Amino acid sequence: MQINRDMNILVVDDFSTMRRIVKNLLKELGFSKFDEADDGATAWPMVQTGKYDFIVSDWNMPQMTGIDLLRHVRADANLKDTPFLLITAEAKRSQILEAAQAGVDGYIVKPFTAATLNEKIQKIFARVAERQ
């Protein structure tokens, strides 16, 4: 399946090291257009511009959590179909179920590998292609 490598990606994490790591891994996978946000609260107005084709977010952030950001996205008629991947240290079954209920497209538990990220992205966009 062919994924559009030109898509705009928003990387949300309160730790700058993790944003950098995710960006580098995405670059390795051939993506090149990224923006960063250090919290759900700073990400939300960015997302609302409608610029992003894919959101990769952490869960545990000080102002607005990733799960809240996801709920905001899903509740907005214009944004609700944006693919959303959570990369987080939160690993409780109940949390993963909650994320699924909120409409997450993929869930990666930290620490993770480049192969896992690649696999999840493939899966997410295969499903997106099916939907269309």
Partner 1 sequence: MTFATQIDKSKVEALLHAIEAGQSEEAAKLVDDLTQIREGELYQQVQLLTQNLHQTLDDLEEDAPILLHTKHDLPDITERLKYVMNETDNASNKTLSSAENALGLVEQLASSLEGGALQGFDKQLVEQINHELTNIMLAQSFQDLTGQVLNRVILIVTTLEESLKELISRSRHNFEAIPERAETLESKKEQEEKGMGPNVTQKSKQDTVESQDDVDDLLSDLGI
* Residue ranges in contact with partner 1 by CB under 8 A: 13, 15-18, 20-21, 24-25, 28, 60, 89, 110-114
β-partners of residue 13 are none
CB of 91 to partner 1, least distance (A): 11
Place of tokens 């994320």: 99
Of 2 and 17, which has the nearer Cβ to partner 1?
17
Of the candidates 55, 64, 61, 50, which has an alpha carbon nearest to the alpha carbon of residue 36?
Answer: 55
Q: Report the chain's terminal Cα–Cα distance, integer Å.
A: 14
**C-beta of 3 vs 29, nearer to partner 1:** 29
Angle, in degrees to the nearest 10, between helices 114-131 and 16-28: 70
> How many C-beta neighbours within 10 Å does residue 96 have?
16
Is the CB of 82 or the CB of 107 nearer to partner 1?
Answer: 107
Find the shortest distance in angstroms from Cβ 60 to partner 1.
6
Smallest separation (angstroms) from partner 1 to the CB of 62: 9
Rounded to a whole number of angstroms, the minimum distance from the CB of residue 41 to partner 1 is 17
